[in-house]
């Protein structure tokens, strides 16, 4: 169950939309922020708010890279593996992240803090290799910098 | 001559609303609303020779002219800020420095097209750009430059942001329309084209950020002025180039259309990274063909780059040096496209993973004699896909086989990557 305040704000968002489902991505994002990932319960709640069937929400949720239909850690790391970051040796950064977190791609660290997911071009091609942690972008990564960022993000959590 | 897009930029912060206005901002809007008819604004854009900056290079005025004047019901304008073409980051840099040119450009486009309500579709990860735009919209409304009764006229124009959740296909204009409507963003069948039947079935124009940000200066200074910015006679305006890869400085710069590839690399990029030699580049984002050192003198304009078998595309230039294996680079590109395929049509959904598998084989020393022919066939087959994603994916592969077939063959005969 979502808190009444969140429900009211989402209802307002839907009411302001030109058609209710136009607000679908916003609603999914807000519910995801509340639950940590888009749970089955959240899918049903989104459907109720948007006047859609849960299946219609599901076909949207599974389409987007940044909507998570499985549990994730407290912070998701998206590390870019597209061509410009490849030129800047993103493979080295990805290998380092895997080692540091003790996970494979898609895995969550044992402490539940980080989930590591490769992602497509982040538009940081001038500053590759690049990643984002919980939405915060970081560029010009080196293994040392990655360690600092992980520590910083751990402290901020 | 002063170029229009980056001239308001400050080194470490976005330009303010007041600064933008002091430097001539919103004069284009003032000029249009006080003395030009919508048709005259449209004609000016047509005459300016402005071509779409998102990648396809379609003439903007012509695109606008496809919107039927007499259809009843609302019509829409959408700004495509779903910048996910690998190697492309120009729209982000532009909006992080200055949201106002886009806001003014969209207001002008709405006026020219008779649009009451427009959207900016923003990709995930561009929150800073979205913040700037949200602030800019509030400021413009407060100053009477957007919203109800703009500049005291009877014109009302609303501008809303749509924040997406990450998927490359959303940049395809019909997929983008589905995404905005809250539907699964598969592309739609064309025709009908969006200009006739688009968002909520109304006439719809979808333009790129950079395209729309050019409109204020075109209206303020005239079509001839814009044309005159280009260095080549058939070109028009300036272009944002965002460079990545093996250059000394990876920069996003505004240069006159017609600047050569070599001038871009040796000038603002400071040449190649120390000790590296230019081998190849992709001139306009992931879905364009590789160029070679023979092409460094090519003027960067739509037709001139097309003439040498590639595309100006988005202006996202990715530079490779002699140490880069272009089979592996192509494999990286195909992996991206295979992952981002929406899965709607068979050639794309099945073809891209197959091409990826063959390239993986070649790169890891398991390639066979017939593989190059199979790849060539797929360049043909994937043109039968539903939208432009798969043909775009085949562009770098096509370039690889046209210019670097020897490198591919060497992988097969040596049974390993010769660059490792």
Where along chain B do its domains lie? 17-227, 230-321, 326-414
- A157 band by pLDDT with thresholds 50, 70 and 90: confident
Contact B89 A123 (CB under 8 A): yes
Contact B182 A25 (CB under 8 A): yes
Which CATH architecture is the domain B326-414 placed in? Up-down Bundle (1.20)
Q: Which of B125, B128, B280 to mutate to test the interface with A (most CBs of A within 10 A)?
A: B125
Chain A nearest C-alpha distance from B332 (Å): 6
Provide the pLDDT for residue B279. Answer: 98
Torsion of CA B126, B129, B133, B139, to 10 degrees: 140
Instruction: Please tell me the CATH code under which domain B230-321 is placed.
Output: 3.10.20.600
| Tens of pLDDT, residues A41-63 | 999 999 999 999 999 999 999 99
Provide the pLDDT for residue B1. Answer: 57
| Tens of pLDDT, residues B14-54 | 999 999 999 999 999 999 999 999 999 999 999 999 999 99
Which residue did the predictor score with more confidence, B405 or B1?
A: B405
- How far is residue B314's CA from residue B86's CA, in Å, rounded to a whole number? 10
State the count of interchain CB pairs (< 8 A) between A and B.
128
Residues of chain B by 3-state class (helix, strand, coil), percent to 5: 45, 15, 40
Q: Which of B90, B165, B287, B316 to mutate to test the interface with A (most CBs of A within 10 A)?
A: B165
Which residues in chain A are contacts of B165 at CB distance < 8 A?
25, 28-29, 64-67
Mean pLDDT of B301-324: 97
- How far is residue A95's CA from residue B256's CA, in Å, rounded to a whole number? 41
Contact A120 B86 (CB under 8 A): yes
How many helices (H) does chain B have, and how many strands (E)? 18, 8
Torsion of CA A128, A131, A136, A142, to 10 degrees: -70
- Residue A123 gets the label, from left (phi > 0), alpha (psi -120 to 50) or beta, of left
CB B265 within 8 A of CB B245: no
pLDDT higher than threshold 90 for residue B71: no
Q: Which of A32, A57, A86 to mutate to test the interface with B (most CBs of B within 10 A)?
A: A86
Q: Which 3 state secondary structure label does DSSP give A65?
A: coil
Provide the pLDDT for residue B113. Answer: 97
| Tens of pLDDT, residues B100-152 | 999 999 999 999 999 999 999 999 999 999 999 999 999 999 999 999 999 99
Nearest Cα residue to B308 out of B284, B277, B286: B284
Quickly tell me which residue has 């030109």 as its tokens: A18
Instruction: Provide the β-strand partners of residue B317.
Output: B243
List the single residue in B92, B245, B319 with the smallest CB-CB distance to A123: B92
pLDDT higher than threshold 90 for residue B73: no
Q: Rg for chain A (alpha carbons), in Å?
A: 17
| Tens of pLDDT, residues B360-416 | 999 999 999 999 999 999 999 999 999 999 999 999 999 999 999 999 999 999 999
- How far is residue B53's CA from residue B307's CA, in Å, rounded to a whole number? 18
Phi, psi dihedral angles at A51 (to 5 degrees): 70, 30
Where along chain A do its domains lie? 4-61, 75-156
Q: Give ∠ CA A109-A114-A117 in degrees, rounded to 5.
A: 100
Quickly tell me which residue has 């888009």 as its tokens: A38
CB B29 within 8 A of CB B104: yes
ipTM value = 0.97
CB B156 within 8 A of CB B198: no
- B269: which DSSP letter? T
Provide the pLDDT for residue B72. Answer: 84
- How far is residue A83's CA from residue B286's CA, in Å, rounded to a whole number? 8
Mean pLDDT of B219-240: 97
Name the class of domain A4-61: mainly alpha
Residue B287: its H or E element:
none
Which residues in chain A are contacts of B123 at CB distance < 8 A?
123
User: Which residues, at least 6 apart from B337, have a Cβ–Cβ distance to it below 8 Å?
Assistant: B286, B287, B352, B389, B390, B392, B393
- pLDDT above 90 covers a percentage of chain B that reads 98
CATH of A75-156 given 3.30.230.10, 3.40.30.10, 3.40.50.300, 3.40.50.2000: 3.40.30.10
Distance linking the first and last C-alpha atoms of chain B:
47
pLDDT higher than threshold 60 for residue B13: yes
Nearest Cα residue to B121 out of B75, B171, B54, B86: B171
Alpha-carbon separation of residue B417 from B291, B398, B408 (angstroms): 21, 19, 9
| Tens of pLDDT, residues A93-144 | 999 999 999 999 999 999 999 999 999 999 999 999 999 999 999 999 999 9
CATH of B17-227 given 3.40.50.11540, 2.60.40.1890, 3.30.590.10, 3.30.450.20: 3.40.50.11540
Which residues in chain B are contacts of A87 at CB distance < 8 A?
244-246, 318-320, 324, 329
CB B251 within 8 A of CB B243: yes
Provide the pLDDT for residue B264. Answer: 98
Nearest Cα residue to B111 out of B61, B38, B202: B38
Return the structure tokens found at A88.
């800047």
Contact B166 A66 (CB under 8 A): yes
Count of all residues that appear for chain A in the document: 157
Which residues in chain B are contacts of A124 at CB distance < 8 A?
89
| Tens of pLDDT, residues B182-208 | 999 999 999 999 999 999 999 999 999
Quickly tell me which residue has 């981002």 as its tokens: B340
Report the DSSP pairing between strands B158-163 and B117-122. Answer: parallel
Torsion of CA B83, B89, B95, B98, to 10 degrees: -150
- How far is residue A79's CA from residue A85's CA, in Å, rounded to a whole number? 9
Nearest Cα residue to B126 out of B170, B177, B84, B86: B84
Chain A CA closest to residue B245: A87
Neighbours of A9 (CB within 10 A): 12
Q: Rg for chain B (alpha carbons), in Å?
A: 22
């Amino acid at each position: 169950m979502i808190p009444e305040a969140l429900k009211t704000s989402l209802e307002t968002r839907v009411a302001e939309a030109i058609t209710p489902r136009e607000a679908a991505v916003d609603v999914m994002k807000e519910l995801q922020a509340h639950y940590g990932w888009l749970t089955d319960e959240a899918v049903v709640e989104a459907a109720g708010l948007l006047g859609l069937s849960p299946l219609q929400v599901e076909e949207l949720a599974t389409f987007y890279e940044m909507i998570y239909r499985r549990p994730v850690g407290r912070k998701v790391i998206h590390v870019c593996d597209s061509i410009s970051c490849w030129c800047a040796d993103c493979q080295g950064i990805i290998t380092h992240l895997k080692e540091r977190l003790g996970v494979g791609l898609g895995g969550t660290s044992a402490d539940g803090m980080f989930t590591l997911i490769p992602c497509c071009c982040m538009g940081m091609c001038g500053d590759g290799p690049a990643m984002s942690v919980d939405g915060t972008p970081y560029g010009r990564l080196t293994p040392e910098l990655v360690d600092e960022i992980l520590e910083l993000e751990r402290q901020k959590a | 001559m002063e170029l229009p897009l980056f001239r308001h930029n400050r080194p470490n912060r976005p330009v303010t609303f007041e600064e933008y206005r002091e430097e001539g901002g919103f004069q284009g809007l003032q000029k249009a609303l006080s003395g030009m008819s919508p048709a005259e604004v449209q004609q000016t854009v047509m005459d300016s020779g402005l071509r779409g900056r998102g990648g396809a290079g379609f003439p903007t005025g012509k695109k606008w002219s496809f919107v039927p004047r007499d259809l009843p019901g609302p019509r829409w304008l959408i700004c495509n800020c779903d910048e996910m073409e690998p190697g492309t980051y120009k729209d982000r840099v532009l909006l992080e420095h200055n949201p106002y040119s886009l806001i003014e450009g969209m207001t002008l486009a709405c006026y020219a097209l008779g649009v009451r309500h427009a959207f900016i579709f923003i990709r995930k990860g561009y929150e800073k750009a979205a913040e700037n735009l949200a602030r800019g919209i509030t400021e413009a409304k407060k100053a009477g430059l957007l919203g109800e009764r703009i500049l005291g006229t009877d014109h009302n124009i609303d501008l809303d942001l749509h924040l997406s959740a990450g998927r490359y296909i959303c940049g395809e204009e019909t997929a983008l329309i589905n995404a905005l409507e809250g539907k699964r963003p598969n592309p739609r069948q064309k025709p009908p084209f969006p200009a006739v039947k688009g968002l909520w079935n109304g006439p719809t124009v979808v333009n790129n950020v950079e395209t729309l940000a050019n409109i204020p200066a075109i209206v303020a200074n005239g079509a001839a002025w814009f044309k005159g910015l280009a260095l080549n006679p058939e070109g028009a305006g300036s272009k944002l180039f965002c460079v990545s890869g093996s250059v000394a400085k990876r920069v996003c710069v505004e240069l006159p259309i017609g600047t050569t590839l070599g001038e871009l690399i040796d000038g603002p990029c400071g040449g190649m990274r120390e000790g590296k030699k230019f081998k190849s580049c992709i001139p306009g984002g992931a879905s364009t063909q590789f160029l070679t050192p023979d092409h460094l003198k090519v003027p960067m304009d739509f037709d001139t780059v097309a003439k040498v078998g590639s595309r100006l595309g988005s202006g996202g230039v990715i530079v490779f040096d002699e140490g880069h294996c272009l089979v592996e680079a192509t494999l990286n590109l195909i992996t991206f496209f295979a992952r981002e395929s929406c899965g709607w049509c068979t050639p794309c959904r099945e073809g891209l993973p197959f091409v990826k598998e063959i390239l993986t084989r070649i790169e890891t020393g398991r390639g066979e004699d017939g593989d190059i022919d199979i790849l060539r066939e797929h360049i043909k087959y994937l043109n039968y896909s539903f939208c432009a994603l798969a043909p775009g994916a085949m562009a770098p592969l096509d370039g690889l086989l046209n210019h670097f077939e020897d490198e591919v063959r060497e992988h097969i005969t040596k049974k390993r990557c010769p660059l490792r």
